[in-house]
Chains A and B, each alone.
Chain A
């Protein structure tokens, strides 16, 4: 396309890995109570999500409703960031959405199964923030959590907070 497409994935993945290990080092030194590292990574993701969505939506039409926004996240947003779409989107139509990615980009290099499963959450916190930040800039307040049972598949759960 244009220069927007020109960075390389390897570089982003390595940068992300460094961010995780940096934040984790603080946690190990006992400078943060456990769980705070997640918040730190999540906050960085949030900022990035906010910025990205502004860039991505500058040429799109106004969204009809919440579901429309979620579909945008699953298709366009996910494709721009992770080069694939979300494989499955489910909702209870009451503000809970489950986004399932069967081959999540940041986990594919790590394992295909249960090995290193205990480390998976570290590598997902940033992305949770990314989604929350993107939604937040579209006027949707949410809580995003993630669940992994077998890598590299994972399920993001988005809970919309009614304002």
Chain B
């Protein structure tokens, strides 16, 4: 099975291949790398940032207007969120949150730290305690990014909204998530507003109660 890496991909007969010099060094170093389980999962964040950038660029080519790109990013974020929550719960030893304030703390101090290496601050609580803001001093998703003028309604990091919504839905919380400030649009900080909508009841199949 093979795929070609260029439009003009052409088959080249298998040439005689011989071992390149310096191979033994590889073999030696490899044997040390037998980590398993929850080993150090940190990786180069530039890879993530650039990959995300390439994705947004592709979406902007595929869709005509920014709204559709925002929607698609949200959808993909949601798909990631519903999976990521399992990884998070398995690795963080965080139990069920008792109130929304605790949820906010876990998101900011544990989840963001674990996955993006930043710790946003939690502010602007609504009096009822059902709304708060995550303030990101720097958003790793936008490290090398400048928005061109013709994409003023593009919410570049919208993936994060979908991700948060998807992840929290899996722990029975319906949340509304949106960006209210964005450094890409000239604001000083990036602010994500989270609003608690309702607790999702466990849906038991009929007749099992």
Contacts and interface: CB of A to CB of B under 8 A. Distances in A.
B206 interface: no
B9 A8 contact: no
Interface string A85-129: 111111111101110000000000000000001101100110011
A56 B31 CA distance: 24
B35 to A, nearest CB: 9
A73 B42 CA distance: 20
Given A11-B84, A92-B17, A85 B4 contact: no
Contacts, number: 188
Given A10-B115, A22-B72, A143 B5 contact: yes
Contacts of B203: none
Nearest to B80: A14
Interface residues of B, number: 58
Given A44-B58, A86-B26, A98 B17 contact: yes
Interface of B: 1-10, 12, 15-23, 26-27, 29-30, 33, 41-55, 57-58, 62, 72, 76, 79-80, 83-84, 87, 114-118, 140, 144, 159
B2 to A, nearest CB: 5
Interface in A38-76: 38-40, 42-45, 47-48, 51-52, 55, 67, 70-71, 74-75
A59 to B, nearest CB: 14
B80 to A, nearest CB: 4
A7 B117 contact: yes
A42 B5 contact: yes
Contacts of A44: 51, 54-55, 57-58
A48 B30 contact: no
Given A85-B30, A121-B1, A55 B20 contact: no
Chain A to chain B: the 3 pairs with minimum beta-carbon distance, closest first: A6-B117, A7-B45, A144-B5
A11 B44 contact: no
A16 B51 contact: yes
A145 B57 CA distance: 24
A140 interface: no
22 contacts: A3-B117, A4-B44, A4-B46, A7-B117, A7-B140, A11-B84, A12-B48, A14-B84, A15-B159, A18-B80, A22-B76, A40-B58, A44-B58, A51-B53, A81-B44, A84-B33, A91-B17, A96-B17, A129-B5, A131-B5, A143-B10, A147-B2
Nearest to B16: A92
A27 interface: no
Given A15-B48, A92-B18, A121-B3, A48 B54 contact: yes
A89 B23 contact: yes
B15 A7 contact: no
Given A15-B55, A39-B7, A9 B42 contact: yes
Contact of A15 (B29, B41, B72, B80): B80
A8 B115 contact: yes
Contacts of A138: none
Contacts of B9: 143, 145
Contact of A85 (B26, B45, B57, B76): B26
A96 B57 CA distance: 32
- Name, among A44, A75, A132, A148, the residue most crowded by chain B CB atoms within 10 Å (CB to CB): A44
B72 A47 contact: no
